[in-house]
Structure 1
Amino acid sequence: MTSAPAIEFRFFTALDSIRGDMIETYADVRAPLLHLPNYAVTTFGERLDRHGAEPGFTTVLAYADDQPIGYAYGNTINHGDRYWQRTHPEPADTYTSHPAVALKEIGVRSQWRGTGTALRIHDTFLASREESYVTLMVNPAAGDGKVHALYQSWGYEDLGQSQPSPASPVLTVMIRGTRAV
C-alpha cells in the first residue's frame, strides 16, 4: 500500500507567480458549475485580480507532488467595506468595528475531497492572520446544503445574506473567530 503524498502549503501575497495555478485549480474544482456566469473561469479571473489588489490579500496554495491541489484566499475588510454594506441585516459592530478577514474562496480538487485537506488549507490560511474574525459567503444550495453544514462544523455561524453581484445567487454570510474555540 502506498501512502498519500505529503501536502506542502505555500503562502503568497501577490498573484504574479501563481495566477495560472489558481485558475487551473479553480477550473477543476468548479468544473460542474463553469457554465453558470458567476462561476465562469473568466469571471473568477476578474474577481481574483480585483481581490488580489485589495488590502491584506493572502493566498495559501496546497501542493502534492508539486501539483496544486487546493487553495484558499482572502483579504482584510474594515468597517464600511462594501462586503459589510451588502450584508443584510447589517452586522453588529462587534464584527465590523475592527478589521476582519474575508475568506473569499476555498477549493479542493475532487480527488482530495473528504480527506480533511480543505480544513487543513483553511486552518493554515487563518494561522497567518491577525484579525479577530473571519467571514465567508456560501451558496446555501451548494452540495444540497452540505457545504453550509461543513462550514457550521468548522465553527461558522450564519450572520446574514448578501448578493455580491447581479449574476450571483443570494449567499449566506457566515462568521467565526479566527482561532478555533
Structure 2
Amino acid sequence: MTTAPAIELRTFTTLDTVRRDLIDVYADVRAPLLHLPNYAVTAFGERLDRHGTEPGFVAVLAYADDHPVGYAYGTTIEHGNRYWHRTTPAPAARYTERPAVALKEIGVRSPWRKTGTAIRIHDTFLTTRDEPFVTLMVNPAAGDGKVHALYRTWGYEDIGQSQPSPASPVLTVMIRASH
C-alpha cells in the first residue's frame, strides 16, 4: 500500500447535494463496464435515486482538493426485505432477524486505489451505523477476483448468491459484524 494522499471524508444523509459527485465518481470507477446495461450510468442513477429514498440512507465521499475521489453508500434493510429474499441459500436468521445495513456501492478512482482510501471510506461509513451486521454484494469476477478477496481481508464472509435484476450478473452476498 502506498501512502494515502490527503483526503477529506464527508458524510451525507440525503442525495440533494451529493448526487452529481456520486455519479461522477461511479462513471470513472466503472468506466470499463458502462457498456453493460446493469452498469450504465443511467441504470446507476435510477438505483441511486431509489436507494436515496430508502430508510437509513448514508453516503460517505472522499475528497482531495474538493474533487470527489471515492464513495460508499448504503441503507438499512429489515427482516423480510427483498435483499434477503433474493439471497440463496436463505441467510441464517441471526443475520436477518434484526435490521442490517446493506453497503450498496463502494468505489475509488484509480489514483487513490491501494492507498487505504477505500477502507477509510468503508470504516467511516460504518461509524454512522447502529445495525449489528453489514452486508454487501460483489461480482466475483471484479478485478479478476481481487475485489472479492479484498472484502475478505476486511472481515466479510460469503453467505450466498443473488441476482438483483435480470441484467445483473450473479453476485456473491457477503456479511460481517458492523463493529
For the aligned residues, what is the CA RMSD? 1.0
After TM superposition, which residue ranges in structure 1, 4 or more long, deviate above 3 angstroms? Answer: none
Q: Percent of counterpart pairs with the same letter? A: 77
Structure 1 residues 55 and 147: alpha-carbon distance in aligned structure 2, compared to 1, 3 A threshold: same
Which residues of structure 2 form unaligned runs of 5+? none
Call closer, same or farther: CA 1:111–1:159 in 2, change over 3 Å.
Answer: same
Counterpart CA distance in 1 for 2:68 and 2:21 is: 6
What residue in structure 2 maps to residue 73 of structure 1?
A: 73
In the aligned structure 2, how far is the partner of 1:9 from the partner of 1:123? 11
- The Cα offsets for residues 80-133 of structure 1, whole Å up to 9 and x where unpaired, read as 000000000001110000000000000000110011100110000001100000
Superposition deviation, residue 54 in structure 1: 0.3
Amino acid at match of 1:160: G
1:131 equivalenced with 2:155 (yes/no): no
Query: Which residue pairs with 1:88 in the alignment?
Result: 88
Question: Which amino acid in the other structure matches residue 94 of structure 1?
Answer: R
What SS does structure 1 have at the residue aligned with 2:68? strand
Q: Is the contact made by 2:13 and 2:58 (CA closer than 8 Å) also made in structure 1?
A: yes
**Counterpart AA for 1:129:** R
Aligned equivalents of 2:102 and 2:45: distance in 1? 18
Structure possessing the higher relative contact order (Cα contacts under 8 Å, 6 or more residues apart): 2
Query: What amino acid is aligned across from residue 92 of structure 1 in structure 2?
Result: A
Query: How many Å separate the matches in 2 of 1:141 and 1:10?
Result: 30
Equivalent pair of 1:133/1:175 in contact (CA under 8 Å): yes
**How do 1:2-41 residues align onto structure 2 when only pairs under 5 Å count?**
5-41=5-41
* Partner AA of 1:64 in structure 2: A
Q: Which amino acid aligns with 1:171?
A: L
Contact 1:5 1:65 in 2 (8 A): no
Distance 2:44 2:60 in 1: 17
**1:145 match:** 145
> Structure 1 CA distance, aligned partners of 2:59 and 2:76?
12
Q: Structure 1: which amino acid aligns with 2:39?
A: Y
Aligned match of 1:178: 178
Quote how far apart the aligned CAs of 1:5 are: 4.7
Between the aligned partners of 1:102 and 1:52, the Cα distance in structure 2 is 13
TM-score by length of 2: 0.97
Q: Could you give the per-residue CA deviations for residues 47-66 of structure 1, whole angstroms, max 9, x where no partner exists?
A: 00000010000000110101
Distance in 2, Cα, partners of 1:58 & 1:4: 24
**1:6 positional shift:** 1.9
Query: Partner of 1:106 in structure 2?
Result: 106
> Aligned with 2:123: secondary structure?
helix
Report how far residue 4 of structure 1 moved.
6.4
